[in-house]
Amino acid sequence: LSKALDLPPENLIKSISAVPVSKNRHVADFQLSIASVIENTSSDCLAQDLHLQAQQLAERLKCDSVVSEISAGPGTVNFTINRELLAKTVLQQVWKDGSEYGVKSELFSTVPRQKAVIEFSSPNIAKKFHIGHLRSTIVGNFIANLKVALGHEVVRINYLGDWGMQFGLLGVGFQSFGNKEKLKSSPLQHLFEVYVQINKAAEDENTKRLAKDFFRKLEERDEQTLSIWKQFRDLSIEEYIRIYKRLGVHFDEYSGESFYQEKAQEVLKMLEDKGLLQKTVKGTGIVDLSEKKDLSTVSTVVRSDGTSLYITRQVSPSVDLAAAIDRMNKHSWDTMIYVTDKSQSNHFQHLFQILKLMGYDWAERCQHVPFGLVQGMKTRRGEVVFLEDVLNEVRSRMLQNMTSTKTTKEMQDPVETAEKVGLAALIIQDFRGLLSSDYQFSWDRALQSRGDTGVFLQYTHARLHSLEQMHGNAELTDVNAACLQEPDAISILQHLLRYDEVLYRSSQDLQPKHIVSYLLTLSHLAAVAHKTLPVKGSAPEVAQARLCLFHAARSVLANGMKLLGITPVTQM
């Protein structure tokens, strides 16, 4: 192609793509998009012109020992690779690269290695860990996994809601309703119960006064008050770490609003010095973000009573400004990503705009990844209050489904397996669509063993694993590629060709759905081949080649699942 088009080969890499496997079988392996290699393709370049150019180019190209067939399609030139070479090359590549298959592709050769800070999960101490926090946790974890796999350095930050008036109430509540034993054994639940109880009395003048006093002492760094607060925070984090571990998630840093109280005051001073802070009649501090400077878009940074403490993130970004600046100083990152629900999109837009006005050019490298709302997630006990409720629920439902099948009896650790399979079900249901869309949660749909579910992915992985256990591990050295010429074998090989492109797409838009639909297709193709290409009872040479093909499919399936935050199971 490089000779025929007089273009350097590296310019063609992104114009050539593997052809998606289709139901009606025979498709070529690669296609070149004509529009992407022809200079000045304007929109009035008609489809028939492109088709003609494709035909002319196809005629100028000759088949050889690698390419066995060349044809023109609508605006594309299609290439079919010598069948034995295809099988050999794909299997060798998967075998050689192992867990780095797809990541080592030339598609990523021009992508610079970077340092990314990702802020995700971020629950509020003593409040519900609601389903939005769960979404933030699994989405943030996916983005971090993907970045690490692609060779970037990642700092995972959990930015806790660990400050504010609620701690005044919580402190007073603990004096009345607290129990040290319960605090140690189940801190999240106990603090939540205390918070709910004291909230009933929150309208009472005396309680209000006590809560204000407690919080004032906190702000003044009174030792005794601080040590109570610190105990709430430390015990909560310990418990979070334990639960995150069940999710397969870890953080490099547990930060929080409490860290930035003083720095937030410095930020307000900087805003003032730069002439960006304006006072309204009511005494609220605002920053004008409108283009014409007519106050048509403003962001509130200080409440009228002088506190920059915010009840929710929307009220005051000065703490977030301080956190962003501090992270830049500390980590000197190339990109910083915030993973929260889409109701906070405005807040982050304002945040990035203010940083830019303050002269921080790196604000352009900040990114908000918004996700939609999940409706209808309930456990048997009612609405979800804690993350652990969801994990226990999914584990028990899965265990129930598994005990009704016969194989569970011989399993080493059915409870552990149920948890991993159940988590896969939650993650796949969540990642199937665009992150920004809302969806209706359904336990029944998520936990189905047939169809496009996480359970199906796990089932496929376990089945391929037991195939390898049964027939001994495949050896690549003695594979006769001529034994892998059936359409069902070719389909798997063609699909494996596309893995790097799917990873590339997800790395560009940070959407997991590309990888999800790729893995579901891979599992469906493997399920069909498992039926039509038996290993048992085939001639040794054929059996060996098929084992190798199934091993490659399982290897790529496992890699993709791990990126999504799923631990593949080997028995089910």
Active site residues: 127, 130, 133
Contact 102, 499 (CB under 8 A): yes
In this structure, the strands spanning 285-288 and 298-302 are antiparallel
Buried b (16+ CB within 10 A) or exposed e, 298-319: ebbbbbeeeebbbeebebbbbb
Q: How far apart are CA 126 and CA 355, in angstroms?
A: 31
Contact 187, 238 (CB under 8 A): yes
Half-sphere exposure of 203 (CA within 13 A, CB side): 1
Contact 2, 12 (CB under 8 A): yes
Contact 231, 214 (CB under 8 A): no
In this structure, the strands spanning 382-383 and 378-379 are antiparallel
- 43 burial (CB, 10 Å; 0-12 / 13-18 / 19+) is exposed
Q: Which token pair is 291?
A: 């283009």
Contact 261, 216 (CB under 8 A): no
Q: How far apart are CA 350 and CA 345, in angstroms?
A: 9
Q: How far apart are CA 484 and CA 469, in angstroms?
A: 21
DSSP state for residue 248 in the 8-state scheme: T
User: Whose structure tokens read 């490089």?
Assistant: 2
Half-sphere exposure of 163 (CA within 13 A, CB side): 20
- 359 burial (CB, 10 Å; 0-12 / 13-18 / 19+) is exposed
